[in-house]
A = this chain, B = another copy of it.
Amino acid sequence: MNKIEVLIVDDHQIMLDGIVALLNRSKQFEVIAQTTNPNEALELIKTKNPAILITDISMEGLSGIELCKQVKSIKPDVKVLALSMFNDKETITEMLEAGVDGYILKNTGTEELLNALQKISLGQLFFSNDVTIEMLKTITQPKLVQTEPINLTQREVEIVKLIGDEFNNAQIGEKLFISERTVETHRKNIFRKTNTKSVAGLIKYAIENKIV
């Protein structure tokens, strides 16, 4: 059975040595190249053609995010595993957009790294638990804000939504089984409450408050 060929880039020499030593003990993976220079890594990928690239995220010269994007554009089949100290939402989101196949934190155990490499080599994705939790927050958080600061009554929120969907007063009346006049009154009250004076302002308010 052939070993899976891995390329590692990390501008911290110690970290780099550590990972290399760890993988050298593995029977499944083989480090075919290593570098502290991300630009050099890009060249190595072209020439050495590894199956997996393990990359640090914050590096001088070329960030892991940029590196990942470039790798994916020139060699889409190369799997990329991001290795980071941080698990902030922004970095994670950017890495995901860059098309990363896995993202693990540097403080996680060695078996986590091997686990990740295994999954990734099978074409699956792998994310550290902490990273998954952050992803979850990104997905659910916007929805949580929704329930917080709304002065509007339930009925008024309904009206706002329908206004947002480009319905006019008559149509809204039909949908809610109320008179067009009532809709007008709600509108009036909504504008007063939201301190807006046109549909433009209202929609901005609605979007800010996640009503639409």
Contacts and interface: CB of A to CB of B under 8 A. Distances in A.
Interface residues of A, number: 33
Contacts of A132: 125, 127
A198 B196 CA distance: 17
**Copies of this protein chain in the complex:** 2
A140 B200 contact: no
Contact of A133 (B125, B129, B133): B125
A41 to B, nearest CB: 24
Interface stretch (A57-65, A69-77, A159-167): A159-167
Interface in A86-143: 93, 96-97, 119, 124-125, 127, 129, 132-133, 135-136, 138-140, 143
Interface of A: 93, 96-97, 119, 124-125, 127, 129, 132-133, 135-136, 138-140, 143-144, 163-166, 168, 196-204, 207, 212
